[in-house]
Amino acid sequence: MGNFLEAPYLLEAVVVVLGLALLMLEAFLPKADKRLVAYIALFGLAGVLVASFNMKAPENLEHSFWSFYATDNLAFFYKNIAVLATMLVIVMAIEYTPVLEKYVSQGSKQGGLGEFFCLPVFVCAGLMWMASAKEFITIFVSLETVTISFYVLVAYMRRNVGSLEAGVKYLILGALSTGFFVYGVTWVFGLTGETHLEKIGIALQGLEGSDSAVLFAFTLILVGLGFKVAAVPFHVWVPDVYQGAPTPVTAFLSVGSKAAGFIVATRILQPFLEMERLHSSFTTILVIVTGATILFGNFAAIPQTNFKRLLAYSSISHAGFLLLALTCTPDQFQLTPGQVVAFYLATYLLMTMLCFLVLTIVRRSTESDEIAAFSGLHRRSPFLAFALLIGVISLAGVPLTAGFLGKFFVFTLAIDSGRWILLAFAVVGAASGFYYYLKVARAMYWEEPTELAAIEISPLARLALLLLIIATIVFGVYPAPILGLLTN
Amino acid sequence: MLETYLPILMQLGVACGFAVSTLIVSVLLGKSGKTNPVKDSAYECGMLPIGEAQPRFSVKFYLVAMLFVLFDIEVVFMYPWAVVFKDLLVTSLLPVTLGMAGFVFILFIAYLYVLKKGALQWRD
Amino acid sequence: MSNLLYILIFLPILASIAIALGAPARLSAIGAALVNLAISLFLFASFDSTAAGYQFAASFPVIPSPEISLSVGLDGMSLVMVLLTAIVTLCAVWVSPKQVEGSLGLYYCSSLLISAGGLGAFCATDLFFFYAFHELALIPTFLMIGIWGTGARKMVAWKITIYLGLGSVILLAGLLALFINLGGKSFDMATMQAAVAAAELPATTQAWIFLTLLIGFGILISLFPFHSWAAPAYASAPTPTSMLHAGVLKKFGLYGLLRVAVPMLPGGINTPLPLPLLGEITVLDLMLWLLLGNIIVIGLVTIAQKDLDLMLGNSSVMHMGYVFLGIASYNSIGFSGAVVLMFGHGISIALLFALAGRIREHTGTLTISRLGGFGKLAPFLGLTFAFAAFASIGLPGFANFAGEVAVFLGAFKGAGTEITFLQGATIVALWGVVISAVYMLRAYRSVFKGEPHEGATMPDLTFSQRIPVLILVASLLIVGLYPPILLDKIKPGIELIAKAFAE
């Protein structure tokens, strides 16, 4: 293991050390402005992001360590997604400070806020490790690092009933899903005697009989992952938790947790789907879940009046599109489902963060998450309205925005694999998306504002919004940089 | 094949036998004498059996208890490490030592954090 | 030279960005539209009408695999559409109001973006951008109708957005199916076209894809029975949006059928498909039935309209049937007729909406019974409206006539002694001309002839307001009096398309 000190996992190590340093800073300087913690986290993560682009996979991969730590393009890509998402969440958290103070500190200025800026860093470390995990125990440990940090973050506003409710629901259902996942893993281990995904793949190929046991294990793991990525019918926690959690945490759940679930799904499903004997059974199960997710996510979003809840259902529907890509076995198309999913998630990161950032700012000034709170936003702040417009049309999949390309690739994969029924569902779902996403645009542009006071935006948030808008449009027209990271 | 399970069967027998036999013995040996209200009342080590069924503890108790369990459990990880330490020393000295050093370092930071946040202080 | 098309497409977008950053809205918009018209006229003049294939081509690679590039180029057909877009855009921004309630910048930006979408779609020779640019118009339209529309604007805006959204997603599925079946490597239209012969798609597959494209494009064109969004939307939308949408964007679907479906799916049109409720029917027969629906059913609906704007909206839906007929004739004469008719219809409907918008601006209503005698009050308005109405009916001397004649000729070309369904449908469709004469002339008589209502006023157009009207009338007359000006340029490209089918 000669390349011990120049290996990619140093990125995770640095993030962990950063998190610990922040904790110490927070503990030893109780009088300092807590936002200092956030700014340091931001700079540290930016450094990690830059470093990750210069990091190369080591050439000598003989040591057993590399058998449970992947260093492929996909791993690096998801690490970037994780860092970027965390940075944006911290920007959002800084904007959200007044709301947090109201529900956490109660009297003492900024009391108990420090950890809100530290915990995302640990989540980030977990997400990054998960991006490289290709062995069940590693996957499980990193998954739990993320989930346990989220338990705290979701319930962070301890004097807000909604946040507490969300915390309890997330805790119970998260624990339940972990149970399913681990039970599935034990079955796989029982069948194959392996925890390494590659070796499991080989062992499954040679497995005689015990089809129902394999199917059972597959289903259990799928249930566990289904909870994480918010697939129907394991989505029940999503709307309440998303609505109740502090907005930055909701954004993090929506992007980070989903990205983590999908990188794990991409890696775990592969050995199963390669098993020819049961391929059709696995696919059938996946297809049913996917169809239900697309239809439910989109249709249930239609009547929503709360923007955060709307985004929760939107998150479910996007999970449906992503799962659709995973069911595909392309024939002609040059991008693999794994690459398409990664690309989709990168664009999803941009547009979802854009929406949540605007929501955070508007929430601070209107004290409401309802769509009605956005009425006449165009008059109050044309910039915010435009930013959110770009966000929602990208989520809806209007061409020339990044969100369209994701759907575009998913549709191509579906056609190439002959998934006609799912494609029909996706068409209906995408069309209904136009309705519920544009409801927000309607409120912003058609309706009269209830008050006319301009909304204040901090320079940092303005910069983040501007970058996100530009990225959403530029990558919608010229996605080559993102695809380059995935393919070269 | 099945004889390997014999110890378990024996254990099962002992467990059941002990429970049943103590019950029987207590009935056989226990003499039923005269009863009065004081004798019939529950015996509580001399304390008056009055109060709530679920007495309230200070929330700090849970905090300390949880911290104890956490730090206690972490030590468990050192055992497997110690067992394989000697073998791994030959092939990969650095990762093995640094790995545990890192682990202990994180624990130490956590301990400092707990201390600084006053989680171990009983009084405010 | 080869970058002219990029300038053409991105100038309106840059102008919108400038407006958003604070440049004077009306001035920048008109400036950009003027430059674009100049560029289009230059392109039109320097277009080599002897060469087939794309001219002024340029390409900018976007993704290597699957190959997507922002490639542009013009053949005769797209040249005519670009010219149409440039003319209508200039007139649309010119007739836009100088003051609006709310943000003036947004008003002009929306028009410019709709225009950029149209230009991009017509110039693109890459299937991805061909599709993507068209969608650029969706959100501006939604905002325009929702903010500045009249009547039941909110309901109408929802309807058009969801209808068009659904249509474009179906279209996307169809286009992607085509892409995958033609090798799934490149979105470049020329490469895809070249792959058609090698791919040897089964006729049934082609027919299914064609049907999907027909439905997808059909929704965008307001093909019967997917038409119900169109008339209320045009009636309710602010004038420039109606002009651009009815005049330019609706042609995208027809253009797309000619550009993509016809040449790339040569075997798809005559293969029977087992459709629910309809039994075994070829796509061509289905198309003919539906276009008759457009011409006859919507024609009769148009006669029954009591409001001028709804009547114009419905008439625009009805006239799409004739363009479809040109496509359904499946020969180069019919195709050329369809393109010329698209041009003529685009100009005439834009003119009609511009004039109607002027009337509504002053009187606040377009209910025909409450208008009258405007010919006396505003002679210029009356005269130009008459021109537009005559053009719309298809009287000789106007561009629409040239197009309709070619369409009918195309339908009868090669007809034997037996009358096919195509010719039968054409004979029925001819009666549509009578229907459009009825409603157009009736509307003209009630609004412009007779005595004005008591106390009614209608100022005539000022000099500045006359310029866009005159540009539109002139375009109608020039093409009407000398159709070869368009036909010559269209011919080589169209013959290429017809050849692809004949093989």
- For residue A6, the model assigns a pLDDT of 66
Would you state the structure tokens that stand for residue A160, as one six-digit string?
């807000």
Inter-chain touch A27–B106, beta carbons under 8 Å: no
- B-facing residues of A in 9-38 (CB < 8 A) are 13, 16, 20, 23-24, 27-28
- C-facing residues of A in 382-411 (CB < 8 A) are 382, 386, 389, 393, 396, 398-400, 404, 408, 411
Task: Say if residues C138 and C165 touch (Cβ distance below 8 Å).
Answer: yes
User: pLDDT grade, residue A427 (50/70/90)?
Assistant: very high
Cα(B99)–Cα(B106) distance, rounded to whole angstroms? 11
Q: Which residues of B fall within a CB distance of 8 Å from A27?
A: 112-113, 116-117
User: Phi then psi for C281, rounded to 5 degrees?
Assistant: -145, 140
Residue of A292, A295, A284, A293 whose CA lies nearest to A258: A293
Give the minimum alpha-carbon distance from C443 to chain A in angstroms, rounded to a whole number: 33
Q: Where are the alpha helices (DSSP H) in C182-229?
A: 189-199, 203-221
- For residue A186, the model assigns a pLDDT of 94
Closest Cβ opposite residue A27 in set B95, B106, B113:
B113
Task: Say if residues C236 and C145 touch (Cβ distance below 8 Å).
Answer: yes
Most distant CA pair in chain B, distance: 76
Inter-chain touch B109–A28, beta carbons under 8 Å: no
List Cα–Cα distances, B77 to A205, A409, B74, B83, C138, in angstroms. 35, 46, 6, 11, 60
Closest Cβ opposite residue C63 in set A399, A431, A480:
A480
- For residue B1, the model assigns a pLDDT of 63
Q: Which residues of A fall within a CB distance of 8 Å from C184?
A: 331-334, 412, 416
Q: Quote the percentage of chain C above a pLDDT of 70.
A: 98
List Cα–Cα distances, C462 to A254, C95, C363, C381, C458, in angstroms. 57, 11, 17, 10, 12
User: pLDDT grade, residue C198 (50/70/90)?
Assistant: confident
Q: Chain A interface, mutation test: which of C172, C181, C191, C205, most A Cβ atoms within 10 Å?
A: C172
Cα(A352)–Cα(A80) distance, rounded to whole angstroms? 16
Inter-chain touch A27–B116, beta carbons under 8 Å: yes
- For residue B47, the model assigns a pLDDT of 67
Q: Where are the alpha helices (DSSP H) in A302-401?
A: 307-326, 337-366, 377-380, 382-396
Tens of pLDDT, residues A288-317: 999 999 999 999 999 999 999 999 999 999
Task: Say if residues A125 and A15 touch (Cβ distance below 8 Å).
Answer: yes
- For residue C138, the model assigns a pLDDT of 87
Residue of A378, A468, A340 whose CA lies nearest to A84: A468
Residue of A346, A468, A353, A484 whose CA lies nearest to A405: A346
Cα(C420)–Cα(C409) distance, rounded to whole angstroms? 14
Residue of C102, C96, C106, C115 whose CA lies nearest to C32: C115
Task: Say if residues A68 and A9 touch (Cβ distance below 8 Å).
Answer: no
| pLDDT reading at B10 higher than 70 | yes
Would you state the structure tokens that stand for residue C409, as one six-digit string?
């000729």
| pLDDT reading at B40 higher than 90 | no
Is A298 inside a domain boundary? yes
Inter-chain touch C180–A415, beta carbons under 8 Å: yes
Cα(C393)–Cα(A320) distance, rounded to whole angstroms? 50
CB pairs under 8 A between A and C: 101
Angle between helices A420-445 and A382-396 (to 10 degrees): 170
Sequence-ordered list of residues with C-beta below 8 angstroms from that of B56, at least 6 positions apart, any chain: none
Q: Chain A interface, mutation test: which of C62, C65, C119, C139, most A Cβ atoms within 10 Å?
A: C139
Collapsed DSSP state (helix, strand, coil) of residue A334: coil
Which residues partner with A135 through β-bridges? A196
The lowest-confidence range among A137-146, A297-306, B49-58 is: B49-58
Collapsed DSSP state (helix, strand, coil) of residue C323: helix
Task: Say if residues C342 and C84 touch (Cβ distance below 8 Å).
Answer: yes
CB distance from A480 to chain C under 8 Å? yes
| pLDDT reading at C395 higher than 90 | no
Exposure b/e, C165-186, CB count within 10 A at least 16 = b: bbbbbbbbbbbbbbbbbbbbbb
Inter-chain touch A23–B113, beta carbons under 8 Å: yes
Tens of pLDDT, residues C78-136: 999 999 999 999 999 998 888 888 888 889 999 999 999 999 999 999 999 999 999 88
Tens of pLDDT, residues C320-337: 999 989 888 888 888 999
Sequence-ordered list of residues with C-beta below 8 angstroms from that of C387, at least 6 positions apart, any chain: C351, C398, C473, C476, C477
Mean pLDDT taken over chain B: 83
Is A434 inside a domain boundary? yes
Residue spans of the domains in chain B: they are: 56-116
- For residue A390, the model assigns a pLDDT of 94
Residue of A154, A149, A181 whose CA lies nearest to A168: A154
Q: What is A263-311 written as a DSSP string?
A: HHHHHHHHHHHT-GGGHHHHHHHHHHHHHHHHHHHHHHHTT--BHHHHH
Please state the rounded mean pLDDT for residues A326-332. 85
The one-letter amino acid code at C244 reads L
Residue of C17, C121, C138, C135 whose CA lies nearest to C70: C121
Q: Which residues of A fall within a CB distance of 8 Å from C176?
A: 408, 411-412, 415
Residue spans of the domains in chain C: they are: 4-502
Mean pLDDT taken over chain A: 89
Task: Say if residues C327 and C221 touch (Cβ distance below 8 Å).
Answer: no
Tens of pLDDT, residues C343-356: 999 999 999 999 99
- For residue B124, the model assigns a pLDDT of 64
Collapsed DSSP state (helix, strand, coil) of residue A332: coil
Closest Cβ opposite residue B106 in set A1, A20, A65:
A20
Inter-chain touch C131–A399, beta carbons under 8 Å: yes
The one-letter amino acid code at C349 reads I
Query: Which residue of chain B is at minimal alpha-carbon distance from A21?
Result: B109
Q: Where are the alpha helices (DSSP H) in C413-483?
A: 421-448, 463-481
Please state the rounded mean pLDDT for residues C436-440. 90
User: Phi then psi for C61, rounded to 5 degrees?
Assistant: -65, 140
Cα(C26)–Cα(C37) distance, rounded to whole angstroms? 16
| pLDDT reading at A139 higher than 90 | yes
Collapsed DSSP state (helix, strand, coil) of residue C272: strand
Cα(A165)–Cα(A151) distance, rounded to whole angstroms? 12
Tens of pLDDT, residues A18-27: 999 999 998 8
Q: Which residues of C fall within a CB distance of 8 Å from A483?
A: 63
What are the respective helix, strand and coil percentages of chain C, to the nearest 5?
Answer: 75, 5, 20
Task: Say if residues C444 and C389 touch (Cβ distance below 8 Å).
Answer: yes
User: Phi then psi for A336, rounded to 5 degrees?
Assistant: -85, 160
Residue of C217, C238, C120 whose CA lies nearest to C164: C217
Cis before C266? omega within 30: no
What are the respective helix, strand and coil percentages of chain B, to the nearest 5?
Answer: 70, 0, 30
Task: Say if residues A412 and A484 touch (Cβ distance below 8 Å).
Answer: no
Closest Cβ opposite residue A27 in set B102, B106, B117:
B117
Q: Which residues of A fall within a CB distance of 8 Å from B94?
A: 1, 4
Cα(A193)–Cα(C338) distance, rounded to whole angstroms? 69
Give the minimum alpha-carbon distance from A70 to chain B in angstroms, rounded to a whole number: 18
Cα(C242)–Cα(C229) distance, rounded to whole angstroms? 13
Is A230 inside a domain boundary? no
| pLDDT reading at C484 higher than 80 | yes
Task: Say if residues C271 and C203 touch (Cβ distance below 8 Å).
Answer: yes
Q: Which residues of A fall within a CB distance of 8 Å from C166?
A: 427, 431, 434
Cα(A15)–Cα(C243) distance, rounded to whole angstroms? 57
Which residues partner with C67 through β-bridges? C186
Inter-chain touch B116–A16, beta carbons under 8 Å: no
Q: Chain A interface, mutation test: which of C21, C59, C169, most A Cβ atoms within 10 Å?
A: C169
Q: Which residues of A fall within a CB distance of 8 Å from C177?
A: 415
Cis before A399? omega within 30: no
Is A182 inside a domain boundary? no
- For residue C80, the model assigns a pLDDT of 92
The one-letter amino acid code at C352 reads L
| pLDDT reading at A3 higher than 60 | no
Residue A118, judged by CB atoms within 10 A of its CB (0-12, 13-18, 19+), counts as buried
Chains B and C touch (3+ CB pairs under 8 A): no
Please state the rounded mean pLDDT for residues A49-73. 79
Task: Say if residues C407 and C330 touch (Cβ distance below 8 Å).
Answer: no
Inter-chain touch A16–B109, beta carbons under 8 Å: no
Give the minimum alpha-carbon distance from C155 to chain A in angstroms, rounded to a whole number: 11
* Domain that residue A354 falls in: 278-488
The one-letter amino acid code at C437 reads A
List Cα–Cα distances, A174 to A154, A221, A228, A236, C467, in angstroms. 12, 14, 8, 11, 68
The lowest-confidence range among A194-208, A279-293, C366-380 is: C366-380
- For residue A321, the model assigns a pLDDT of 94
Q: Chain C interface, mutation test: which of A400, A405, A419, A470, most C Cβ atoms within 10 Å?
A: A400
CB distance from A420 to chain C under 8 Å? no
Cα(A4)–Cα(A173) distance, rounded to whole angstroms? 39
Q: Chain B interface, mutation test: which of A5, A12, A23, most B Cβ atoms within 10 Å?
A: A23
Closest Cβ opposite residue B109 in set A4, A20, A65:
A20
Inter-chain touch A332–C146, beta carbons under 8 Å: no
Please state the rounded mean pLDDT for residues A167-173. 93
Taking any CB pair shorter than 8 Å as contact, residues of chain C touching chain A are 20, 61-66, 70, 102-103, 106, 128, 131-136, 138-139, 142-143, 146-147, 154, 157-158, 161-162, 165-166, 169-170, 172-173, 176-177, 179-180, 183-185
Sequence-ordered list of residues with C-beta below 8 angstroms from that of C341, at least 6 positions apart, any chain: C319, C322, C323, C326, C400, C403, C404, C406, C407
Q: Chain A interface, mutation test: which of B77, B90, B106, B113, most A Cβ atoms within 10 Å?
A: B113
- A-facing residues of B in 53-112 (CB < 8 A) are 92, 94-95, 102, 106, 109, 112
Tens of pLDDT, residues C213-245: 999 999 998 888 888 888 888 888 898 999 999
In eight-state DSSP terms, residue B122 is S
Q: What is B16-49 written as a DSSP string?
A: HHHHHHHHHHHHHH-------HHHHS---TTS--
Which residues partner with C279 through β-bridges? C275
User: pLDDT grade, residue A466 (50/70/90)?
Assistant: very high
Q: How many domains does chain A have?
A: 1
Closest Cβ opposite residue B95 in set A4, A16, A23:
A4
Which residues partner with C280 through β-bridges? C274
Tens of pLDDT, residues A382-421: 899 999 999 999 999 998 899 999 999 999 999 988 888 9
Inter-chain touch A24–B113, beta carbons under 8 Å: yes
- For residue A2, the model assigns a pLDDT of 47
Exposure b/e, A169-193, CB count within 10 A at least 16 = b: bbbebbeebbebbbbbbebbeebbe
| pLDDT reading at C455 higher than 80 | no
Neighbours of chain B (3+ CB pairs under 8 A): A
- For residue C92, the model assigns a pLDDT of 92
Q: Which residues of A fall within a CB distance of 8 Å from C103?
A: 378, 382
- For residue A1, the model assigns a pLDDT of 44
Cα(C121)–Cα(C82) distance, rounded to whole angstroms? 9
Please state the rounded mean pLDDT for residues B84-104. 83
Residue of C177, C321, C157, C326 whose CA lies nearest to C250: C321
Tens of pLDDT, residues C170-186: 999 999 999 988 888 88
Tens of pLDDT, residues A470-481: 999 999 999 988
